[in-house]
Every structure is written in structure tokens, then in C-alpha cells.
């Protein structure tokens, strides 16, 4: 049997790269703890903002760039259901009108995974060795939930974090109102949706909010901060990796 470690390319996502590198390092730790060799090829964005804005030309250019950057990896893993969904589900759709590129996109898509589900479903990870003192609630980000079927996986792993208790969030499967450029283009509407989400978060009385997508987390953290709530907002990878020394999202030093 081949004992050489899996070559995993970390698609860190532009939001994590720019806004919260600590999530990227948490992902690296989780992958390395599970025995993977992690590579970080030079990368920018998966192209989703262009794709969802109707700009197929730029979306395709960025998709080609991303596929080329990760061509030597066995797996491509992203700490985001939204970006992983773009790579795994939408690249083939994007190139549906170009048979050669579509074939390539299909092969690429087949090796793309979201971080937590990759740990549980592909690598068979059943527990983590971290601890976190607190009561957390978990928001199911839309793309991860509905495009990739991520629901039980993070809950199972969070259940093995020492000191952490998990309470379910009412309407956990309802969108937080982020929606990428939607939050900026329809700020008022997005604000109304995230306000409703935050009311549900606050009513759980959890001290920590977790999710698997930084966009949604920044949206909810931004609204909770605006309301003066004390809920700590973190990416699920930070807690699973036991890397919670940095201030929570939207909190100062």
C-alpha cells in the first residue's frame, strides 16, 4: 500500500487570505494532523463574484487560473462551502459550452472538497484533540448545506471538542443575508435578513457563533457588533484546530 501522504492543495479562499489568515493556518493544522502534506499554490479567487455577476469571461479566466495552479494536487480543499461549491459544482457548469474545458473541469471538480467534510468523509476523521470553553451555536451556510450536503459533519467533530457544548440555532438552514456582492448591492435588504438571523442567534444564549464560511461569519459578526452583542464569532476550523488565541471576528486586540 502506498504510504506517501496525500498531497492536499489548500485553496485558502480570498476572504480568508485577506481578512482572516488564522483560519487558513487552522485548516493547515487540521489537514496536517490528519496526515496530509499541505501545499499552498499561488492563488487569488475562484471567480465566484464574476460568475454570480454574469461575467462569464472573467469567471472562466479565473477558473482556468485556479485549475492550473492546483493541477499537481491529489485534493483541493477549501475552508468554505461556498468556494468549494464553486470549484466542485459550478466549474463544470461554467464550461458546459466547451467540451474540452468541461472535461478538465469535471476532473478538477472531482478532487475538490470543503474542509470539514473532507476531514470526516474522505479522511475518516472522527474526533479532534482540541478544547474550547463555551456554549456554541452553528449556522449552516447555504452553499455548504444545499450544494455539498454539509450538515452533520461539523456537528460531529464539534461534539468531540473538550469543554464545548453545542446548542441548535432556530432556522439554522436559513440564509444569513450575505450572498457575496448581494450584501453590498442590496445593503438594506441584506441588513433586514441578517437582523432576523441575529435575533435567532441571540435567543440561543450561546456565547459563540460558528460557521464554515467567512463571508457569512463577517456578515453576522458585523451585525452582532452593530447591535452591541457579546457573541464571539469564529470559523469552525479555528475551534476544531484549537487555535482561538486571535480575537474573534470583528473584535479588537
Partner 1 sequence: MTVHVTTPRFKLNVHEALGDPRLQRAMSHAGNLVPRRASAAERLPEFEALRDSARDIKNHTLAHLDLYLEAYEKRVTEAGGHVHWARDAEEARQIFLKLCAERGAKRVTKGKSMISEEIGLNEALEAQGIEAIETDLGEYIIQLRHEAPSHIIAPAIHVTRDDVEADFRKFHTHLPADRDLTKPETLLAEAREILRQKFLSADIGVTGANFLIAETGTSIIVTNEGNGDLTQILPKVHVVVASLEKIVPTLDDAAQLLRVLARSATGQDMSVYTTLSTGPRRPQDPDGPQEYHVILLDNGRSSMLGTEFADMLRCIRCGACMNHCPVYQAVGGHAYGWVYPGPMGAVLTPSLIGVKEGGQLPNASTFCGRCESVCPMRIPLPKMMRHWREREFERHLEPAAVRYGLGIWAFFARRPALYRFAANLGMRAMALVGRKKGRFAWAPLASGWTQARDLPAPQGATFQAQWRARSGALR
User: Is residue 203 close enough to count as binding partner 1 by CB under 8 A?
Assistant: no
Q: Looking at 14-22, 107-115, 155-163, 200-208, which segment touches partner 1 (CB under 8 A)?
A: 14-22
Binding residue for partner 1, selected from 156, 196, 200, 202, defined by CB under 8 A = 196
Binding mask 113-132 for partner 1 (x = CB under 8 A): --------------------
Spacing of C-alpha 60 from chain mean position: 22
Cell numbers standing for residue 31: 489537514
Which CB, 195 or 203, lies closer to partner 1?
A: 195
Contacts 24+ apart (CB under 8 A), 92-98: 94/47, 94/51, 94/56, 94/59, 94/60, 94/63, 95/60, 95/63
Nearest approach in angstroms of CB 158 to partner 1 is 22
Cell numbers standing for residue 28: 493547515
Binding residue for partner 1, selected from 5, 17, 156, 160, defined by CB under 8 A = 17
Which CB, 113 or 234, lies closer to partner 1?
A: 234
- Residues within window 136-165 making contact with partner 1, judged by CB under 8 A: 142-143, 146-147
Backbone angles phi, psi at 145, to 5 degrees: -70, -55
- Residues within window 210-249 making contact with partner 1, judged by CB under 8 A: 218-219, 221-223, 225-226, 246-247, 249
Binding residue for partner 1, selected from 6, 12, 115, 236, defined by CB under 8 A = 12
Nearest approach in angstroms of CB 123 to partner 1 is 22
User: Is residue 167 close enough to count as binding partner 1 by CB under 8 A?
Assistant: no
User: Is residue 169 close enough to count as binding partner 1 by CB under 8 A?
Assistant: no
Binding residue for partner 1, selected from 49, 74, 160, 229, defined by CB under 8 A = 49
User: Is residue 32 close enough to count as binding partner 1 by CB under 8 A?
Assistant: no
Q: How many chain residues touch partner 1 (CB under 8 A)?
A: 75
Binding residue for partner 1, selected from 30, 31, 45, 128, defined by CB under 8 A = 45
DSSP bridge partners of 138:
210
Which CB, 5 or 49, lies closer to partner 1?
A: 49
- Residues within window 68-97 making contact with partner 1, judged by CB under 8 A: 69, 93
Amino acid at each position: 500500500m502506498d504510504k506517501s501522504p496525500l498531497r492536499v492543495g489548500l485553496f485558502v479562499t480570498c476572504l480568508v487570505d485577506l481578512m482572516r489568515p488564522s483560519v487558513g493556518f487552522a485548516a493547515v493544522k487540521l489537514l496536517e494532523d490528519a496526515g496530509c502534506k499541505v501545499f499552498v499554490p499561488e492563488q487569488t479567487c475562484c471567480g465566484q463574484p464574476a460568475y454570480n455577476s454574469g461575467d462569464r469571461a472573467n469567471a472562466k479566466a479565473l477558473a482556468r487560473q485556479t485549475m492550473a495552479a492546483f493541477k499537481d494536487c491529489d485534493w483541493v480543499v477549501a475552508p468554505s462551502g461556498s468556494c468549494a461549491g464553486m470549484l466542485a459544482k459550478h466549474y463544470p457548469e461554467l464550461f458546459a459550452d466547451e467540451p474540452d474545458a468541461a472535461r478538465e473541469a469535471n476532473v478538477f471538480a472531482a478532487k475538490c472538497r470543503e474542509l470539514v467534510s473532507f476531514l470526516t468523509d474522505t479522511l475518516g476523521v472522527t474526533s479532534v484533540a482540541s478544547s474550547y470553553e463555551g456554549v456554541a451555536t452553528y449556522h449552516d451556510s447555504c452553499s455548504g448545506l444545499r450544494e455539498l450536503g454539509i450538515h452533520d459533519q461539523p456537528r460531529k467533530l464539534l461534539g468531540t471538542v473538550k469543554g464545548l457544548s453545542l446548542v441548535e440555532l432556530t432556522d439554522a438552514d436559513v440564509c444569513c443575508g450575505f450572498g457575496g456582492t448581494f450584501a453590498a448591492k442590496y445593503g438594506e435588504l441584506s441588513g433586514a435578513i441578517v437582523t432576523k438571523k441575529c435575533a435567532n442567534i441571540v435567543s440561543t444564549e450561546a456565547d459563540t457563533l460558528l460557521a464554515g464560511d467567512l463571508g457569512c461569519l463577517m456578515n453576522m459578526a458585523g451585525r452582532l457588533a452593530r447591535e452591541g452583542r457579546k457573541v464571539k464569532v469564529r470559523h469552525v476550523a479555528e475551534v476544531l484546530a484549537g487555535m482561538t488565541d486571535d480575537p474573534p471576528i470583528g473584535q479588537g486586540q
